């Protein structure tokens, strides 16, 4: 079964509630056995519109990634991000 990757590109507009989102989301990721591969480090935007924060999280499967996104824990955390940042989130199945 291929792994899956949660890829997020984010611009934080209000750091305080976004911090609450990050804490809650991290807990949801732990619950689903996710591994953070990149989070907010240096990035070079080569093409297209960029965001200052880029995140890559590995899951054992697409099912796990979807279950995490749909989980009560993540959805509670997501409420803190709404209005505190602009996010593009994509789940991608690995090869």
What is the maximum alpha-carbon separation in the chain?
38
Which residues form the domain of 30?
4-43+51-93
Domain count, the chain: 1
pLDDT attached to residue 57: 98
Element containing residue 74 per DSSP (H, E): helix 72-81
How many other C-beta atoms can be found within 10 angstroms of the C-beta atom of residue 17?
17
Phi, psi (5° rounding) for residue 22?
Answer: -60, -40
Please list the pLDDT of the chain residue by residue as tens digits (95 residues).
999 999 999 999 999 999 999 999 999 999 999 999 999 899 999 999 999 999 999 999 999 999 999 999 999 999 999 999 999 999 999 99
pTM for the model: 0.92
3-state SS string over 15-33? HHHHHHHHHHHHHHHHHCC
CA–CA separation, 28 and 59 (whole Å): 12
pLDDT attached to residue 40: 86
pLDDT attached to residue 47: 96
């Amino acid at each position: 079964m291929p792994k899956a990757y949660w890829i997020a590109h984010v611009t934080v507009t209000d750091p305080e509630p976004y911090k609450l989102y990050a804490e809650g989301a991290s807990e949801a990721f732990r619950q689903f056995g996710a591994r953070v591969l990149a989070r907010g480090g240096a990035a070079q935007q080569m093409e297209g519109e960029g965001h200052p924060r880029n995140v890559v999280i590995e899951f054992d499967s697409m099912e796990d990634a979807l279950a995490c996104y749909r989980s009560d824990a993540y959805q509670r955390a997501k409420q803190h991000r709404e209005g505190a940042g602009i996010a593009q989130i994509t789940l991608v199945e690995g090869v």
